[in-house]
C-alpha cells in the first residue's frame, strides 16, 4: 500500500487508524476465536452438567459452583496444589538466588556452572521426570540405594501417598532452579558497583552486610518477578503428574490441572471441568494480585 | 564483584558449586549409563555406573523402533518452528500498532492482551478441543499449531520493546514513503531482533515441553510431539525395559539440549530479556 | 456384427458385476501393549496373508483397559475412531448404554459357519449386554498365584506344595521377608482397577451390587472379609504399598517371593524373569470352597465402523482374532486362557502347548470358577472403580481400618450409582 505525504492532519490520523486496524486484524480474529469465545464458552459450560459427546444437558446455575467447592476431591486437589507450590516456589527461588550469588562470587568457571545448572530447564520435563522416576524406584532406584548406604531408611517416594508430593516437588525444584538462577544472575550484574563501594565506606564490612544492605534491596524487583513466575509455573504443574503418578496414589498427587483434565477429557464431564477451570483462573488471578500488591510495596526501584 | 581475602574462599566456592553441580547432573549420568545396560543388569539394582554388559545397540534400536522416534522429533521441530513463526507474524504488527499508532481500538485491544495474559490456555482447553473436533482437525499437525499462533505474551513483550524506539524512526520511514506494514517488517523487526529471538527461545522451550494439548488432541503415534511420543513409548514398554526407556529419554532430550549448548548465550540472554521486560 | 457387440456388452456387464478387488483398510486399536503388542502383530500379519486385499493398521495403543475405553468414548462419532478395538470386558456395558459399538447379532445370524467355530454360549455371554452382542471375547483371564521357587526354598518352604490358603500364604510371606536383603514376602496387585478386589470378594461368595443394581452389596460380611484379607496382607504378609509396575518389576527382579496377578501377565513375567530364578504358578488360595468364584478379566473385540463394506471385513477379522487361531496365538503369547472351546482341546491348536508348558496350567485349571467381571451401571462406572482403588490405597497404607474403609467405600460408591 503506497501513500504520499498526507494532505491534512485529519487525513493522516484516519490513515494511521486504518493502517493500525489492518495490522491488528489477524490478531483480532485470533483473539476472538481463541480467547474471547472459548472463555465465554467455559463460563457458560461451567453452569451446566454437560457431557462430551452427549446432547443431554441441564442448566445448573451457580449451584454448580457450590457443589464443586464443597466436593471433597476438589478440595483435595486444591490442597495438593497448594502444598506443591509451597514446596517448589520458595525452594527454587532461594536456591536460584544462592546459586547466582555463588557463581557471581568468583571469576572461575562461571559460564560452565551457569550452563550446568541451566541444563534441566531445557530438558524435556516428561523425559527427565521419567529418569527421576527410575531414580526414585523403590526396589532398584539409585536414590534409595544411596540412602541405604548412608544408613537411612528407604523411601518409596512416588508410591506412597505421604511422600508423593515431596517426590514431585524434588523434580519440580530441580527443573526450576536454573531458570531462577539465570534471572538472578542478570539482576546481580545490573547492580551498580558504586553502591558497594559506598556501603563499604559507610562501614559495611562483612559479606552478609553487603548482601543485606545492597544486594538484596537492589534485587527486589527481580525477586518479585522470580517469585511471581515460580508460583504461576508451579500452580500449572501437569506433565510430571500425568507421566509419573496419574494423580495417585489415592489422589495424593491430584493437582488442579490434572483434575480438570480427568474430569473433562477422561470422565467427559465438561460442565464440571469448566467450573474447575474458572476456579483455576480465579486462583491464578488472586495469586497475581496478592503478590503484586504485597510485594510491590517492598520493592525498591532505582 | 566483592573482594575476598585469601585463597580459601575461591576453593570453597568451587567445591560447593561442584557438589551441587554433581547433584544437579546426577539424573543425566544415570540416564546415560542406564541406557547402556541390558535389562537384567538394571534390575539387579546396585549403584554401579558402568555396565558389565554393554547393550547400547539393543537399547537404542528398541528406542527408535518401538515408536517412530525420529518422526516424532521432527514433528516437535515442525510444530515449534511453525508456532514461533506465526506468533511473531501476527504479534509484531499488532504490537507496533499498540505502541506507535493511534486508533480507537487501542485500549480495547490492549485490554484483551492483558486478559489473555491472565487466562492460561489450559483453562479454555475444553471449548478449544470441542472446536477442533467439530472442525475435524483432531490428529493433525494443524491442531497442534493453531491454538498457539496467538501469543499475547509476544504482543505484550514487543509492545514494551517497541515503545522504547524513538518516534523519529517511524516518522523518517513514513516520509520515505513506506507503508505501515512495510515499517513493521523493514524497520521494526531488524531493531527488535533481540526481543524477537528472546521470545522465540521462550516459546520453543514452552511448546516443546507441552504435554496437555497433544495429549487430548492427538492419538496417532505418527503425529505425536516428543512428550506425547515418550508417553506412548512408556505405554508400549510397560516400564519394564528401563534400559531402552532411558535410551528413548536420551534421544528425545538431546535436540533441545544440543541446541542450548551451541547457542547458550542466545538462550540465557533471551530468557533474561523476557524476564526484565516482562 | 450385432452378436459381437452383444457379446462384448454382456462381457462388460459381467465384469462390472464382479466385485472389484479393492483394498480395504481397517484401523485397529487395542490396550495393554505390554501384553498384546506381539500378539496383535502376529494375528494381523497372518490375517493379511490369508486376505491379501485387506490392510490392517494400528493406531496408538492405550496403556490400560481404562484408558482404552476413555479414548473410545472421547473419539465416538469422530473420524478418528478406529474400526475395531479391544475393550475390557467390564466396560462393554458403558458402550452398550451409550449406543456406541455395533451389535454383532445380525452378522452372527447371517454367518452359516459360526456355530462350528467353537464360540460357545458361555463365551458369547461374556460380551452380551441388554440383548446386544457387543463383541466377541478375545482374551479372558483369571487371577493366579506366581511364586519364586528359589526364595520359597530358601525360606524353608516346599515349592512343590505351595500355600493353599491365605493363612499359609501369610506365614510363608513372613518367613521370606525374614531373609532380609531387601526381599519382600508378597505383593497383591490391588491398584489400577477393582478386578483383584473382586477376586477376594467373589472368592468369599460375595457380590458387588444387589440384583436390582440399586444398592451396594459388597458392604456385607464378604466385603469385610475381603478388606480384612488385604489388611492382613499388609500386617501379616508385610506387603509394601507399591504401584503395579513396581510390583511386577520387583517380582521379576527376584525381590518379591509371591505375587498375585492376572494370568494374562504370564508371558511378560516369564520374559522379565529370564534365568534369574525358578518361576512357578499355581491356583489362587481358596477362600470358600463351594461359593467361591473368580472374576473374568480380559477384553472383547468390538466393532465400531458403520461402513457396510468395512463391517464385513471387521466381522471376519474379529472372528479370526477371537477364534481358534487367535486363541492359539494369544494364549502362549500372553497367558490368557482360551476362550474358545475348540482351541483348548484340539491338537492343532493348544492341546500340546498346555502339556509342555505347566506354568500356563494354573489359569486353565481355574476356568470352571470364572464369572463375569462386574460392570457398574450408569455414567459413573469409571469413577466407581477409581473410588474402590483409592479406598484400597488408604487401607494398604494403614490409614484406616477394614471396617472404616468398608463404610467409606460403600457410601461413596452408593452415591455414584444411578438413582
Q: Is B34 on the interface with A (CB under 8 A)?
A: yes
Q: C59: cis peptide before it, omega within 30°?
A: no
Residue of A127, A140, A256, A265 to mutate, interface with B, max B Cβ within 10 Å: A127
Per-residue confidence (pLDDT) for residue A299, from 0 to 100: 64
Per-residue confidence (pLDDT) for residue C404, from 0 to 100: 92
pLDDT for residue C138 is more than 60: yes
CA distance A255 to A239: 11
CA distance B184 to C31: 52
pLDDT for residue C2 is more than 80: no
CA distance C358 to C380: 41
Which residue in this structure is represented by grid cell 494374562? C264
Per-residue confidence (pLDDT) for residue C17, from 0 to 100: 47
Please name the member of C70, C77, C250 whose beta carbon is closest to the beta carbon of A266.
Answer: C70
CA C392 to chain B, closest CA, distance in angstroms equals 23
**Closest residue, chain C, to A251 (C-alpha):** C390
Closest CA to C322 of C308, C341, C346: C341
Per-residue confidence (pLDDT) for residue A40, from 0 to 100: 93
- Averages of pLDDT over each 10 residues, chain B, 278 residues: 63 90 91 83 68 80 83 93 94 90 85 86 90 87 93 89 85 84 85 84 88 89 89 72 85 87 73 56
CA distance B258 to C99: 51
CA distance C33 to C29: 10
Burial of B262 (0-12, 13-18, 19+ CB in 10 A): exposed
Please name the member of B39, B40, B232 whose beta carbon is closest to the beta carbon of C60.
Answer: B232
Q: Is A55 on the interface with C (CB under 8 A)?
A: no
Chain B residues closer than 8 Å to C253 by CB? 43-45
The residues in C 257-296 lying below 8 A from B, measured between CB atoms, are: 268, 272, 274, 276
Question: How does pLDDT run across C8-45, given as a tens digit for each residue?
Answer: 555 555 545 444 456 889 999 999 887 888 899 999 99
Complex ipTM, two decimals?
0.83
Query: Does C276 sit within 8 Å of B40, measured CB to CB?
Result: yes
pLDDT for residue C50 is more than 90: yes
Provide the mean pLDDT of chain C. 85
Which residue in this structure is represented by grid cell 533474561? B272
Chain C residues closer than 8 Å to B240 by CB? 34, 248-249, 252, 268, 272
Query: Does A249 sit within 8 Å of C397, measured CB to CB?
Result: yes
CA distance A237 to C409: 29
Query: pLDDT above 70 covers what percent of chain C?
Result: 93
Superfamily of domain B78-236: MetI-like (1.10.3720.10)
Cell numbers of C362, please? 494354573
CA distance C366 to A124: 46
CA distance C288 to C171: 19
Per-residue confidence (pLDDT) for residue B238, from 0 to 100: 56
pLDDT for residue A56 is more than 80: no
CA C375 to chain A, closest CA, distance in angstroms equals 16
Reported as half-sphere exposure (CB side, CA atoms, 13 A), residue C392 has a value of 28
Cell numbers of B15, please? 567445591
The answer to whether B219 and B129 have CB atoms below 8 angstroms apart is no
The answer to whether B150 and A27 have CB atoms below 8 angstroms apart is yes
Per-residue confidence (pLDDT) for residue A248, from 0 to 100: 76
Please name the member of A159, A162, A265 whose beta carbon is closest to the beta carbon of C246.
Answer: A159
Q: Is A290 on the interface with B (CB under 8 A)?
A: no
Return the domain boundaries, chain B. 1-66+238-258, 78-236
The residues in B 120-139 lying below 8 A from C, measured between CB atoms, are: 133, 136, 138-139
**Closest residue, chain A, to B116 (C-alpha):** A35
pTM of the model: 0.82
Per-residue confidence (pLDDT) for residue B46, from 0 to 100: 62
Query: Does B139 sit within 8 Å of C61, measured CB to CB?
Result: no
Report the Cα C386 to chain-centroid distance in Å: 18
Please name the member of B180, B242, B264 whose beta carbon is closest to the beta carbon of A115.
Answer: B264
**Closest residue, chain C, to B240 (C-alpha):** C249
Q: For chain C, which chains pass the contact test of at least 3 CB pairs under 8 Å?
A: A, B
CA distance C100 to C93: 10
Please name the member of C71, C248, C272 whose beta carbon is closest to the beta carbon of B219.
Answer: C71
Q: Is A150 on the interface with B (CB under 8 A)?
A: no
Per-residue confidence (pLDDT) for residue C113, from 0 to 100: 81
The residues in A 77-136 lying below 8 A from C, measured between CB atoms, are: none
Query: Does C249 sit within 8 Å of A140, measured CB to CB?
Result: yes
Per-residue confidence (pLDDT) for residue C341, from 0 to 100: 66
Per-residue confidence (pLDDT) for residue B1, from 0 to 100: 44
Q: How many CB pairs under 8 A join A and C?
A: 62
Please name the member of C77, C242, C253 whose beta carbon is closest to the beta carbon of A159.
Answer: C242
pLDDT for residue A181 is more than 80: yes
3-state secondary structure of A300: coil
User: Alpha-carbon torsion B89, B94, B97, B98, what sign?
Assistant: negative
Per-residue confidence (pLDDT) for residue C20, from 0 to 100: 47
Domains defined along chain A, listed by start? 70-299 (1.10.3720.10)
Least confident window among B87-101, C6-20, C108-122, C124-138: C6-20
Amino acid at each position: 500500500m503506497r501513500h504520499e505525504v498526507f494532505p491534512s492532519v485529519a487525513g493522516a490520523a484516519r490513515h494511521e487508524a486504518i493502517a493500525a486496524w489492518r495490522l491488528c486484524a489477524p490478531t483480532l480474529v485470533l483473539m476472538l476465536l481463541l480467547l474471547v469465545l472459548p472463555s465465554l464458552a467455559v463460563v457458560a459450560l461451567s453452569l451446566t452438567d454437560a457431557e462430551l459427546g452427549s446432547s443431554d444437558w441441564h442448566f445448573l446455575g451457580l449451584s454448580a459452583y457450590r457443589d464443586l467447592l464443597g466436593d471433597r476431591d476438589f478440595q483435595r486437589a486444591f490442597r495438593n496444589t497448594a502444598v506443591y507450590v509451597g514446596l517448589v516456589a520458595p525452594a527454587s527461588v532461594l536456591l536460584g538466588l544462592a546459586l547466582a550469588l555463588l557463581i557471581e562470587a568468583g571469576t572461575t568457571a562461571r559460564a560452565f556452572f551457569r550452563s550446568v545448572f541451566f541444563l534441566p530447564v531445557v530438558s524435556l520435563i516428561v523425559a527427565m521426570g521419567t529418569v527421576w522416576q527410575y531414580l526414585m524406584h523403590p526396589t532398584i532406584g539409585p536414590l534409595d540405594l544411596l540412602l541405604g548406604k548412608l544408613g537411612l531408611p528407604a523411601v518409596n517416594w512416588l508410591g506412597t501417598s505421604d511422600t508423593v508430593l515431596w517426590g514431585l516437588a524434588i523434580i519440580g525444584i530441580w527443573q526450576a532452579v536454573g531458570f531462577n538462577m539465570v534471572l538472578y544472575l542478570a539482576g546481580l550484574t545490573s547492580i551498580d558497583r558504586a553502591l558497594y563501594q559506598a556501603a563499604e565506606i559507610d562501614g559495611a564490612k562483612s559479606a552478609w552486610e553487603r548482601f543485606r544492605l545492597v544486594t538484596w534491596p537492589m534485587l527486589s524487583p527481580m525477586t518479585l518477578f522470580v517469585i511471581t513466575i515460580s508460583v504461576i509455573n508451579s500452580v500449572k504443574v501437569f506433565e510430571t503428574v500425568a507421566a509419573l503418578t496419574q494423580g495417585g496414589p489415592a489422589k495424593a498427587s491430584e493437582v488442579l490441572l490434572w483434575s480438570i483434565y480427568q474430569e473433562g477429557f477422561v470422565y467427559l464431564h465438561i460442565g464440571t471441568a469448566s467450573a474447575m477451570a474458572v476456579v483455576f483462573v480465579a486462583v491464578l488471578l488472586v495469586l497475581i494480585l496478592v503478590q503484586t500488591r504485597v510485594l510491590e510495596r517492598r520493592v525498591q526501584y532505582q | 564483584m566483592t573482594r575476598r581475602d585469601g585463597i580459601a574462599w575461591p576453593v570453597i566456592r568451587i567445591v560447593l558449586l561442584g557438589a551441587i553441580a554433581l547433584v544437579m547432573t546426577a539424573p543425566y549420568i544415570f540416564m546415560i549409563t542406564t541406557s547402556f545396560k541390558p535389562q537384567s543388569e538394571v534390575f539387579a539394582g546396585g549403584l554401579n555406573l558402568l555396565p558389565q554388559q554393554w547393550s547400547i545397540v539393543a537399547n537404542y534400536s528398541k528406542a527408535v523402533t518401538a515408536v517412530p522416534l525420529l518422526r516424532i522429533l521432527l514433528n516437535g521441530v515442525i510444530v515449534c518452528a511453525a508456532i514461533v513463526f506465526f506468533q511473531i507474524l501476527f504479534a509484531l504488527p499488532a504490537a507496533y500498532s499498540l505502541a506507535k499508532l493511534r486508533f480507537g481500538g487501542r485500549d480495547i485491544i490492549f485490554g484483551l492482551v492483558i486478559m489473555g495474559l491472565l487466562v492460561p490456555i489450559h483453562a479454555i482447553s475444553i471449548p478449544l478441543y470441542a472446536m477442533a473436533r467439530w472442525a475435524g482437525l483432531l490428529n493433525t499437525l494443524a491442531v497442534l499449531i493453531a491454538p498457539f499462533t496467538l501469543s499475547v505474551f509476544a504482543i505484550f513483550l514487543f509492545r514494551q520493546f517497541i515503545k522504547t524506539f524513538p518516534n523519529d524512526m517511524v516518522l523518517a520511514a513514513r516520509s520515505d514513503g513506506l507503508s505501515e506494514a512495510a515499517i513493521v517488517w523493514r524497520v521494526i523487526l531488524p531493531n527488535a531482533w533481540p526481543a524477537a529471538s528472546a521470545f522465540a527461545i521462550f516459546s520453543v522451550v514452552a511448546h516443546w515441553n507441552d504435554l496437555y494439548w497433544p495429549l487430548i488432541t492427538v492419538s496417532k503415534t505418527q503425529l505425536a510431539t516428543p512428550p506425547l511420543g515418550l508417553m506412548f513409548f512408556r505405554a508400549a514398554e510397560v516400564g519394564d525395559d528401563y534400559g531402552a526407556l532411558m535410551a528413548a529419554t536420551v534421544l528425545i532430550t538431546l535436540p533441545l539440549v544440543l541446541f542450548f549448548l551451541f547457542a547458550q548465550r542466545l538462550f540465557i540472554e533471551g530468557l533474561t530479556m523476557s524476564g526484565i521486560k516482562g | 456384427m450385432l452378436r459381437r457387440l452383444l457379446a462384448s456388452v454382456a462381457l462388460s456387464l459381467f465384469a462390472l458385476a464382479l466385485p472389484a478387488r479393492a483394498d480395504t483398510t481397517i484401523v485397529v486399536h487395542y490396550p495393554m501393549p505390554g501384553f498384546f503388542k506381539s500378539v496383535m502383530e502376529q494375528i494381523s500379519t497372518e490375517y493379511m496373508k490369508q486376505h491379501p486385499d485387506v490392510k490392517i493398521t494400528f493406531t496408538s495403543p492405550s496403556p490400560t483397559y481404562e484408558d482404552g475405553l476413555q479414548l473410545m468414548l472421547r473419539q465416538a462419532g469422530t473420524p478418528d475412531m478406529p474400526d475395531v478395538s479391544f475393550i475390557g470386558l467390564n466396560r462393554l456395558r458403558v458402550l452398550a448404554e451409550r449406543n456406541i459399538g455395533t451389535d454383532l447379532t445380525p452378522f452372527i445370524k447371517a454367518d452359516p459357519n459360526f456355530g462350528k467355530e467353537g464360540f460357545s454360549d458361555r463365551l458369547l455371554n461374556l460380551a452380551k449386554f441388554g440383548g446386544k452382542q457387543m463383541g466377541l471375547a478375545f482374551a479372558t483371564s483369571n487371577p493366579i498365584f506366581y511364586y519364586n521357587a528359589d526364595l520359597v526354598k530358601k525360606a524353608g518352604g516346599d515349592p512343590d506344595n505351595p500355600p493353599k490358603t491365605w493363612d499359609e500364604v501369610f506365614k510363608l510371606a513372613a518367613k521370606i521377608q525374614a531373609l532380609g536383603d531387601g526381599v519382600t514376602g508378597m505383593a497383591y496387585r490391588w491398584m489400577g482397577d477393582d478386578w483383584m478386589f473382586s477376586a477376594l470378594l467373589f472368592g468369599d461368595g460375595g457380590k458387588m451390587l444387589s440384583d436390582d443394581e440399586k444398592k451396594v452389596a459388597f458392604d456385607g460380611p464378604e466385603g469385610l472379609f475381603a478388606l480384612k484379607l488385604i489388611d492382613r496382607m499388609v500386617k501379616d504378609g508385610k506387603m509394601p504399598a507399591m504401584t503395579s509396575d513396581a510390583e511386577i518389576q520387583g517380582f521379576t527382579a527376584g525381590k518379591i517371593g509371591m505375587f498375585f496377578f492376572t494370568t494374562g501377565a504370564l508371558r511378560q513375567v516369564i520374559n522379565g524373569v529370564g534365568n534369574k530364578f525358578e518361576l512357578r504358578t499355581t491356583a489362587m488360595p481358596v477362600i470358600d470352597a463351594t461359593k467361591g468364584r473368580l472374576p473374568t478379566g480380559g477384553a472383547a473385540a468390538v466393532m465400531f465402523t458403520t461402513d457396510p463394506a468395512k463391517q464385513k471385513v471387521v466381522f471376519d477379522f474379529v472372528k479370526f482374532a477371537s477364534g481358534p487361531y487367535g486363541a492359539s496365538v494369544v494364549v502362549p503369547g500372553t497367558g490368557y486362557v482360551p476362550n474358545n472351546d475348540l482351541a483348548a482341546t484340539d491338537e492343532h491348536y493348544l492341546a500340546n502347548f498346555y502339556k509342555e508348558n505347566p506354568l500356563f496350567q494354573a489359569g486353565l485349571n481355574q476356568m470352571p470358577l470364572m464369572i463375569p467381571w462386574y460392570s457398574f451401571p450408569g455414567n459413573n462406572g469409571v469413577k466407581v472403580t477409581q473410588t474402590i482403588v483409592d479406598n484400597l490405597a488408604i487401607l494398604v497404607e494403614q490409614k484406616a481400618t477394614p471396617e472404616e474403609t468398608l463404610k467409606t467405600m460403600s457410601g461413596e460408591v452408593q452415591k455414584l450409582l444411578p438413582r
